[in-house]
Chain A
Amino acid sequence: MRHLFKASLAVFFKDLRSELRTRYALNALLLFAASTAVAVSLGVGGFLGIQRDNEALLIQSALLWIALLFAALNGLARSFIHEEETRTTLGLRLAAPALAVYLGKFLFNLVLLVALDGVTSLLFIVFVHIEVGNVGLFVALMAAGNLCLATATTILAAIIARASFKGTLFAVLAFPLLVPPLIVAIQGTAPALAGAPWSTGYDALRALLAYAVATFVASLMLFRFVWDS
C-alpha cells in the first residue's frame, strides 16, 4: 500500500514536471478558458452580468460550466495521449503498478482542473461580471464537479489513448458520461451565485460526490484491463 502511494506520487510529480517544461496541456486549457470568457463577455457580458434573476443566474452558471467542460475535454486527455504518442507507455507499463499510473494521472488531472477552475472563475468574474453570493457553496460545488470531471476524463483518456480517432472517440464517450453531472452542477451552482444558503446546495453536492465516487471505484476496477490490453 505504501509502495502504491509512493509510486502514484512519483507518476504525479513526473507528469507535473513534464507539463511545466512542455506546457503540453496547460497552454491549451488556459487559452481555451480565456478565449471562452472573452467571447462570452463580448457577446452577452454587458447585460447578463448585471442581472440577478433565476434565469440569468442559470445562464451564467451554464456558461461557466460549459467553458470548464470544453477546456477539460480539450486538455485532460493529453496525459495518456502524450505517453502514447511519445511511446513512453511501454516503459511505464513494465515498471509501474497499473493502479499507481491511474492514481497519479487522476491526481495530475485534478490539479490541472483546480488551476483551470481558478483561472476560469476569475476570468468570468472580471469579464462577464458574475457575482458569487455564497462563496463557500460555490467552491464546494466546483470541487465536487471537478472530481466528477477528473474521474471520468482520466479513465476515458486511458481508453482512447491508443485509438485511431482519439478526438472523436473521446467526445462520443464523454457525452453520456459527463452530461448528467454537468446538469447537476449547473443547477446547483446557480443558487450559489445568488447567495442562497448551504442547504439549497446539499442535493447537488451529494449527487456530484456520489457520481465521483462511483466513477472512481469503477475506474479502479477497470483500469488494469485497459492498461494491459
Chain B
Amino acid sequence: MTNLQLDISDVSASYGARTVFHRISLTLRHGEVLVVSGANGSGKSTLLRVLCGLQKPADGTVRYCWNGTSHAPRDASHLIGWVSPDLSLYRELTGDENLRFFAAVRGLSLGADGIDGLMAQVGLGGRGSDRVSAYSSGMAHRLRYAYALLHHPPVLLLDEPTVTLDERGAGVVESIIEAQRQKGIAVVATNDPRELRYGDYVLTLGAG
C-alpha cells in the first residue's frame, strides 16, 4: 500500500485586502475523503486552487507526502487530478484529441484502448470523435473527469463535482470518489448538502 498524506498548515488566502479564509490546518491520509462546504464566496474553490498549486496561499504551507517524499503543490501535478467548472478543455479538438494531448504532455503513453476505456468510464463512450464544441455542458464536465483521471492521480480535487450532471453522471462521480478511497485521497468542494455524505470529514468555511 502506498503512503500518502496531505498536510495543510496555517493556510490563509486573500484577494487584495479581503481575507477569504484564515489559518486552515488539517491532515488527510490515504483512503480519506474531505468535503469542503460553505456559502458562495466562502473560499471553497480558492482552497482547491491552493491545493493544486494554481494559486499561492497568502500564508501557510501545503505539502504532499508521497512514499516518503514531500512535494509542494506546484511540483506535485503528477499526483493531482483536478475537476472544476473553471477548467476548460480545447473546444476545437475532439474529446479523444484532448485526452491524447494531455497524455502526451504528461509523458503518458495511452493507446486507443486506454482513451476509449477512460471515455467509457465517465459515460462518454462512443463520443470521443466529436468536437468538444458539440458537447453539452454535462458532457464537457464528464470530459473534465477523464482529464483528471488520465494519469491515475492519488489525489483527486473535485470542485462542484456534480454541477451540470444528470443523475447518471452523479452516479459516475460517486463511484469515482469511492474508487479514489483505494487509490489515495479526495477533497470535494460543494454547497450541495446531498454531497456531504461523500466525506469522512466536513470542513465548513464561513462566508466572506
Contacts and interface: CB of A to CB of B under 8 A. Distances in A.
B176 interface: no
Interface stretch (A9-17, A37-45, A46-54, A173-181): A9-17
A90 interface: yes
**Chain B interface, DSSP helix/strand/loop, else mixed:** loop
Given A6-B107, A7-B104, A7-B107, A91 B147 contact: yes
B39 to A, nearest CB: 24
Given A86-B91, A88-B89, A93 B54 contact: yes
Contacts of A90: 54, 84, 86-88
Contacts of B80: 94
B92 interface: yes
List 7 tightest A-B contacts by C-beta distance, closest first. Answer: A10-B104, A96-B105, A87-B88, A3-B107, A7-B105, A21-B92, A14-B101
Given A94-B54, A94-B77, A94-B82, A100 B92 contact: no
Interface string A135-160: 00000000000000000000000000
Contacts of A9: 104
A88 B104 contact: no
B88 A86 contact: yes
B183 interface: no
B111 to A, nearest CB: 16
Nearest to B52: A94
A10 B102 CA distance: 9
Contacts of B93: 14, 17-18, 21
A18 B84 CA distance: 23
Contact of B105 (A17, A22, A87, A95): A95
8 contacts: A10-B105, A17-B97, A21-B92, A87-B88, A91-B87, A91-B102, A94-B52, A100-B105
Nearest to B81: A94
**Chain A interface, DSSP helix/strand/loop, else mixed:** helix
Contacts of B97: 14, 17
Contacts of A228: 74
A91 B104 contact: no
Interface in A1-35: 3, 6-7, 9-11, 14, 17-18, 21-22
Contacts of B101: 10, 14
Given A6-B107, A87-B88, 12 more contacts: A6-B104, A7-B105, A14-B93, A17-B97, A18-B93, A22-B92, A90-B84, A91-B87, A91-B102, A94-B54, A95-B77, A95-B102
B29 interface: no
A213 B30 CA distance: 47
Contacts of A6: 104, 107
A9 B105 CA distance: 9
A197 interface: no
Interface in B54-81: 54, 74, 77, 80
B201 interface: no
A118 B50 CA distance: 46
B23 interface: no
A97 interface: yes
A90 B90 CA distance: 12
Interface in B16-46: none
A31 B74 CA distance: 41
Contacts of B54: 90, 93-94
Interface string B102-135: 1011110000000000000000000000000000
B94 to A, nearest CB: 10
A6 B100 CA distance: 12
A91 B106 contact: no
B85 to A, nearest CB: 10
